[in-house]
Amino acid sequence: MNIRASTEQDKQDIFQLHRDTFAEEEAEAVAKLALELLEDETALPLLSLVAEQDGDIVGHILFSSVSVEGADKHQGYILAPLAVLSNQQGRGIGSALIRRGLDILKTRRGEFVLVLGDPKYYSRTGFAAGHGISPPYELAYPQAWMALELKKDALKNIKGKVQCAASLSPAQYW
């Protein structure tokens, strides 16, 4: 399995991957979101990685830029979306995409990463709830709103509401 930055030519495969992998009721919306984020200037700086197996794209992860209202300028990111093709799941590809992404963001001097997802899954790579950054909307499961520091104590004094890229801001994604 090889992980690399996605290119313009991968866009259709990325769309298809999310559409095939997410549950039917959200698949189309997530697939569109992935493509919109890739073209969204308000998402920059952005990191988009694909996992390849025998020349086929089997996984994709995207990190887009966020800011925090009322806080100093910080280089923060949000992880969304992430998907690994059903027949390739459980082989460590999702975790490898997350870890590689975090490593690259560290080298880019990123400070923190947010995610809204399953705590059982994301806690495996160090994400935890209980930080000071609020989501843009009230959440049904606040424990699913997690963060990870890329730099020691990066989240210690940050309080405020997150401001995401325009394409990630509609309430339907939260």
DSSP 58-82: EEEEEEEEEEETTS----EEEEEEE
Distances (CA, A) of 3 to 70, 100, 130: 36, 8, 31
Q: Are 99 and 150 in contact (CB under 8 A)?
A: no
CB of 14 to ligand COA, least distance (A): 13
Q: Are 34 and 60 in contact (CB under 8 A)?
A: yes
Closer Cβ to ligand COA, 68 or 83, answer by number: 83
Q: Are 37 and 62 in contact (CB under 8 A)?
A: yes
CB of 36 to ligand COA, least distance (A): 17
CB of 68 to ligand COA, least distance (A): 21
Closer Cβ to ligand COA, 62 or 155, answer by number: 62
Binding residues for ligand COA, per CB under 6 A?
Answer: 21-22, 82-84, 89-95, 117-118, 120-121
Closer Cβ to ligand COA, 73 or 120, answer by number: 120
Closer Cβ to ligand COA, 85 or 154, answer by number: 85
